[in-house]
Structure 1
């Protein structure tokens, strides 16, 4: 199959357009994260706004993952569609996704594993201008180096439909699932903190009843929470802030959370 590149759509807007500045900014954000104990995660949730706003929160979950460089070889990346309506979960026809840091190949074996599913469609239009997936890729490139990518732009779908796809792609320790989502949108600062705290509690309880007022990526989040229940995972909150804490005013803020999901640890005593 000849290569078909999905070019970066929001470089120079959501994040720096030059490789040097992009690598520098991400490395700096990662370096500022205070060390936290984190078990090896199977999945994470990270925000997807412009890096000046949500980058420090995303870094809080990506920084501990640097220890897994070389062992994580496949990223299953799900994010909501913001610009193009789609029914189901959309694969790209593209065979690679580009950022200023280089091109990441789409995992054709993973594509083949799910392309027969009724909730899976192929739509380059769903991916062409979508930032929710793209803004995660430079972080992944800096943290992991070389990996293959299975990107899914998630439109109208049930939690069960998303979970079924995740089950097909679950894999072993080589596979990390990344859900891209912001939390509340355009509330006053104090109201956002209250709403986002409630959303975080639902995520930590694996309560898959998140709605789109709580998180723009509610659909893929709910699918992950259902899968996490089935696989006996527990959630860990690594960061919970909003744009009023990072780089915006506090009259209308967007909420951001960083979560990791790993096997539940049981006390043997």
Structure 2
């Protein structure tokens, strides 16, 4: 979205419901968005004032990824002026510390480093730095990280609509049910906050509500019941309502703490009005989640710590009642099918192979590798040959490795791309780049997803090498059947364009000829690769993955890439049986 619109000689800021009309060089009520002449600039973009890792329950969100970690951040500035704000040191601050800059990628990398399942925009009012939050959120989505807003609920309608698909959950402060108190002491207005709550709900963004109960300000039975009735009538009875205990802070230092009796009264009001999930916070008190149907404890908490989480696939384990919220999805995994046969099942055994392989090789020269040709037989036969290519590229840090291999188990028209969440290996699972994979599937009509195609050793034998040598990469697996090599080459062209990719083409060479015959046939394939001679692929070259190799060389010719054959051998090296051998090679393609 564009964060402003023109109004004669002014620009209207579209971030919050104040819709500040700003002259050139004028700053909005929030103190951080400025009309610079041709646009509204978010002055705090990249300049955070607070950064912490919190349990998601601290937001508070009780029905959103329970027991997960959230990277929480805020800037200076706010569009409200709450006299009890516990973060007034940043929310009411106008001076921006620009000594450090955190790009959206920097923030996401921190979240990844500390295994955070979400990023929370909090501490001050996040709608005033929505341009920054949105860019972080979009980057986070690429890595499966969700995004959370902890807000006063005074967003503009434009921002709430723009949040769809970007922000996954919000906790909104419904501070009272008194418009006069809102306007005079807090900021904004009650009716707009109520409309925004309905807007969030309509847009399908997971919503939880917090009311800080401030003695003498919003703690009457009548006012609390109005809030409960609004939640029930205008939202739904499954919207969690958090009742938070006030403590003296900022300007409200002369007010007492909220009594436990008042909190219990408010909880009873919510429950008497039919609300299914009402919680007391900021005090030592039972705040577990109970099944609304059978009253079973399904999430047991001690303040922000989850002691027990019994939810199974979003349902009560006892009566199977659906528990509303956003819960971790069961990850789909591309399971191993050949561990224990083509390669060892145990990590330590594979490492022994690799250590022994590496003792026998000497690497000379440099090569800007964009793609590799590697064999896929059992490690005892072809592992040494494959390992040479991986070892040469060990210092590369690809964002993703695309491995393409032929189907050995079933006939298939076109190719299948794996759309699981993770790829299992003895070294630990590799994340599958589902966004990249889906983009390829949508773009190339020969690509689909067939689960049966991914019980395939030509690609699976590469996975332990990938995890060992490129520990932080993601993987994309493509298994092809019958198709024109030109089609596959068009996809390879795109893969090679991205310098963050490393492409693997999996193939063995001739099968079950004598050693002498195999050497002759395989030499044709080696020449086709090294000399980039397309005619040789149809003039004696035999390989189970010939289509993939042919497509790669065709792309290499178009891109004027170099090729380098690294190693060639046959199964004779291991079996000493020259009567029926299989050939193997590894090669590099790049600049």
Normalised to the residue count of structure 1, the TM-score between the two structures is 0.92
SS in 2 for 1:102: coil
Corresponding residue SS for 2:534:
coil
2:429 is equivalent to residue 103 of structure 1 = yes
Cα shift at 1:92: 2.1
Asked if 1:232 is matched to 2:577, the reply is: no
Q: Is 1:121 matched up with 2:448?
A: yes
**How much does 1:31 deviate?**
3.4
Q: Say whether the 8 Å CA contact 1:8–1:134 is kept in structure 2.
A: yes
Deviation at 1:207? Answer: 2.6
SS of structure 1 residue aligned to 2:395: helix
Whether 1:179 and 2:505 are equivalent positions in the alignment is yes
- Matching of residues 228-267 of structure 1 within 5 Å: 228-263=556-591
The structure with the larger Rg is 2
- Count of residues in Structure 1 that have an aligned counterpart in Structure 2: 260
Deviation at 1:82, TM superposition (A): 0.1
- Determine if contact 1:54/1:246 at 8 Å carries over to the other structure: no
- In the alignment, structure 2 segments of 5+ residues that lack a partner are 1-328
Judge conservation of contact 1:26–1:142 (CA < 8 Å) in 2. Answer: no
Moved more, 51-60 or 199-208: 199-208
Describe the superposition over 1:66-125 as per-residue Cα deviations: whole angstroms up to 9, x where unpaired. 122xx2221010000000111111112322110111111111121122112211111110
Q: Does structure 1 conserve the Cα–Cα contact (< 8 Å) formed by 2:522 and 2:541? A: no
* CA drift at 1:253: 0.3
State the alpha-carbon separation in 2 of the partners of residues 183 and 88 from structure 1. Answer: 22
Q: Deviations over 1:114-169 (max 9, x none)?
A: 112211111110012x1000001111111111211110001111111101112233
CA contact (8 A) 1:85 1:126 kept: no
Match 2:519 to one of 181, 184, 193:
193
Gaps spanning 5+ residues in structure 1: where? 264-269
Superposed counterparts of 1:1-40, under 5 Å: 2-40=330-368
Partners in 1 of 2:502 and 2:477 — Cα distance?
12
Tell me how far 1:248 sits from its aligned partner.
4.7
Distance 1:207 1:3, change over 3 A: farther
CA distance in 2, matches of 1:17, 1:248: 26
1:19 CA displacement: 1.3
In structure 1, the partner of 2:399 is 73
Residue 266 of structure 1 aligns with which residue?
none
**1:171 to partner: Cα distance:** 4.2
Q: Which residue among 467, 470, 474 is the counterpart of 1:148?
A: 474
User: Residues 36 and 153 (structure 1 numbering): CA distance in 2 closer, same or farther, change over 3 Å?
Assistant: same
Normalized per residue, which structure has more helix? 1
The offset of 1:255, in angstroms, is: 0.3
Contact 1:31–1:63 (CA under 8 A) maintained in structure 2: no
Q: Are 2:413 and 1:87 aligned?
A: yes
d(CA) in 1 for partners of 2:440, 2:395: 30
Q: Is the 8 A contact 2:441 2:448 kept in 1?
A: yes
Counterpart for residue 457 of structure 2: 131
CA distance in 2, matches of 1:208, 1:158: 14
Q: Is contact 2:509–2:522 with CA below 8 Å preserved after alignment?
A: yes
Kindly provide the CA deviation profile for residues 2-23 of structure 1, in whole angstroms up to 9, marking residues without a partner as x.
4201111010101111111112
Residue among 367, 375, 394 paired with 1:47: 375
SS in 2 for 1:261: strand
Q: Counterpart of 1:67 in 2: which secondary structure?
A: coil
Rounded to whole Å, the distance in 2 between the matches of 1:52 and 1:77 is: 21
* Bigger mean CA deviation after superposition, 132-141 or 31-40: 31-40
Match of 2:103 in 1: none
Runs of 4+ in 1 over 6 A off after TM superposition: none
Q: Does 1:169 align with 2:169?
A: no
- For residue 548 of structure 2, the aligned residue among 213, 216, 220 is 220
Counterpart CA distance in 2 for 1:261 and 1:79 is: 16
Match of 1:112 among 415, 418, 438: 438
Q: Contact conserved, 1:79 with 1:220, CA < 8 A, in 2?
A: yes
